[in-house]
């Protein structure tokens, strides 16, 4: 099975040009965060087979994408007091040794570091997917996904205690993400982790004012399609792939449709984004958006999505400059954030 990994998505986008103590320190710090998010061992030394399996999956997926048999040989053997000792290191240990290995000079610095980021991203994505399950599940199965490192004891019913436990681990993961993004910033690396994916961060103002609150809103499972299309849009922009603005417009259209459906305004005979926008603007529906907002939204689809998604025939192929693409994506993100915030 193919896995969406960082090094492939950004293979054509150079990020690193040198390997120094800054990069080595960053990898050590990132791996430490991942070990907190997916702890193989508790503070008391107990081993979690569930989390060890998580690291096994991370290891196997990354090694498959890199086309190598393993990231690090887990088998060990030595002699102690005249007796042979052998066994296998944990999967977490194998991943850690791969991530924190010194630069070997056999490939470019950029490729070397991106391959290590693959492990970091997949580990954090694994925990993110668990957090989504924890956040939506009230069953006893949730217990198997809870970390061993920190517990919460709350007097009262089991249900209240489990709910408090769930909120605590969600908080812990949010702290892990916040620290990781700060580590990237301090190392001068233009990357951010959002909803299980590490992506290019264009500038700090856009990240803080648009991207960060945007991804926080999309953490709810009902916005999964919006999340997927916007990530695709950003990946295509950063890798200079074709038509990133189309995927930004798809994310915006999905948002409008979901809101219309959730509010019970969809009639079933809508033919496109314009009809769904009318649902949001309808007087009968309380004018979820104002008329001037409806016109701006319609203009976005008319002048951006329709222009580049339809075949031009014999006319010149429509294109967008990098600046126009950035504007189209950031405008879609702003609209999505503003619309979801009104629910």
Asked if 227 and 290 count as a contact pair (C-beta separation under 8 A), the reply is no
pLDDT of residue 205: 63
Asked if 7 and 117 count as a contact pair (C-beta separation under 8 A), the reply is yes
pLDDT of residue 149: 44
Of 220, 197, 195, 192, the closest CA to residue 207 belongs to 192
Categorize the per-residue pLDDT at 162 as very low, low, confident or very high, splitting at 50, 70 and 90: low
pLDDT of residue 255: 97
Torsions phi, psi for 77 (to 5 deg): -155, 140
pLDDT at 155 over 60: no
Residue 194, beta-bridge partner list: 197
pLDDT of residue 146: 53
Q: From residue 297, give the alpha-carbon distance in Å to each of 37, 260, 274, 275.
A: 40, 15, 8, 11
Tell me whether residue 273 is exposed, middle or buried, using C-beta atoms within 10 angstroms of its C-beta: 0 to 12, 13 to 18, 19 or more: buried
Q: What is the average pLDDT score of the chain?
A: 88
CA atoms within 13 A on the CB side of 133: 14
- How far apart (Å, rounded) are the C-alpha atoms in residues 12 and 242? 13
In the block, which residue shows the tokens 């314009």?
A: 274
**Range among 15-19, 130-134, 300-304 with highest mean pLDDT value:** 15-19
**Range among 41-55, 78-92, 255-269 with highest mean pLDDT value:** 255-269
The pLDDT of 225-243, averaged and rounded, is 90
Helix (H) or strand (E) holding 283: none
In the block, which residue shows the tokens 């619309």?
A: 339
Query: pLDDT by residue (tens digit) across 251-309?
Result: 999 999 999 999 999 999 998 899 999 999 999 999 899 999 999 999 999 988 888 87
- Minimum mean pLDDT among 69-83, 91-105, 197-211, 268-282: which range? 197-211
Asked if 56 and 63 count as a contact pair (C-beta separation under 8 A), the reply is no
The pLDDT of 29-34, averaged and rounded, is 98
Q: Give just the sign of the alpha carbon dihedral 23, 129, 176, 203.
A: positive
- How far apart (Å, rounded) are the C-alpha atoms in residues 159 and 227? 31
Of 115, 104, 125, the closest CA to residue 67 belongs to 115
pLDDT at 84 over 90: no
pLDDT of residue 313: 81
pLDDT of residue 254: 97
Q: Give just the sign of the alpha carbon dihedral 56, 60, 63, 66.
A: negative
- CB neighbours (10 Å) of residue 296? 14
The pLDDT of 316-338, averaged and rounded, is 90
Tokens of 184: 């990237």
pLDDT at 194 over 50: yes
pLDDT of residue 139: 47
CA atoms within 13 A on the CB side of 296: 11
Q: Which residues contact 97 (CB under 8 A, 6 or more apart)?
A: 71, 72, 89
The pLDDT of 191-210, averaged and rounded, is 81
**What angle separates helix 322-341 from helix 224-238, to the nearest 10 degrees?**
160
Which ranges in 38-102 belong to alpha helices (H)? 49-66, 91-99
pLDDT of residue 165: 76
The pLDDT of 114-127, averaged and rounded, is 97
pLDDT of residue 164: 76
Q: Which residues contact 54 (CB under 8 A, 6 or more apart)?
A: 38, 123, 126, 127
């Amino acid at each position: 099975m193919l896995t969406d990994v960082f090094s492939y998505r950004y293979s054509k986008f150079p990020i690193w040009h040198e390997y120094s103590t800054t990069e080595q320190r960053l990898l050590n710090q990132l791996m430490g965060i991942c070990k907190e998010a997916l702890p193989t061992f508790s503070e008391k030394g107990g081993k979690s087979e569930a989390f060890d399996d998580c690291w096994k999956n991370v290891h196997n997926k990354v090694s498959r994408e890199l086309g190598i048999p393993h990231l690090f040989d887990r088998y060990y053997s030595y002699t102690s007091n005249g007796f042979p000792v052998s066994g296998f290191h944990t999967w977490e240990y194998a991943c850690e040794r791969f991530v924190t290995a010194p630069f070997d000079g056999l490939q470019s610095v950029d490729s070397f570091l991106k391959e290590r980021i693959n492990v970091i991203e997949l580990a954090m994505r694994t925990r993110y997917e668990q957090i989504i399950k924890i956040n939506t599940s009230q069953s006893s199965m949730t217990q198997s996904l809870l970390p061993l490192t920190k517990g919460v004891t709350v007097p009262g019913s089991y249900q209240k205690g489990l709910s408090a436990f769930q909120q605590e681990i969600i908080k812990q993961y949010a702290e892990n993400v916040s620290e990781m993004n700060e580590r990237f910033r301090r190392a001068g690396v233009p990357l951010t982790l959002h909803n299980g994916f590490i992506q290019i961060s264009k500038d700090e103002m856009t990240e803080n004012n648009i991207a960060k609150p945007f991804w926080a809103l999309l953490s709810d499972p009902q916005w999964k399609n919006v999340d997927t299309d916007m990530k695709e849009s950003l990946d295509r922009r950063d890798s200079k792939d074709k038509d990133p603005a189309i995927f930004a417009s798809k994310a915006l259209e999905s948002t409008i449709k979901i809101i219309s459906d959730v509010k019970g305004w969809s009639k079933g005979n809508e033919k496109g984004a314009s009809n769904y926008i009318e649902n949001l603007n309808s007087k009968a529906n309380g004018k979820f958006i104002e008329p001037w907002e409806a016109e701006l939204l319609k203009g976005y689809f008319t002048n951006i999505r329709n222009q580049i998604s339809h075949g031009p025939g014999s006319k010149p192929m429509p294109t967008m400059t990098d600046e126009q693409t950035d504007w189209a994506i950031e405008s879609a993100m702003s609209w999505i954030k503003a619309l979801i915030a009104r629910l």
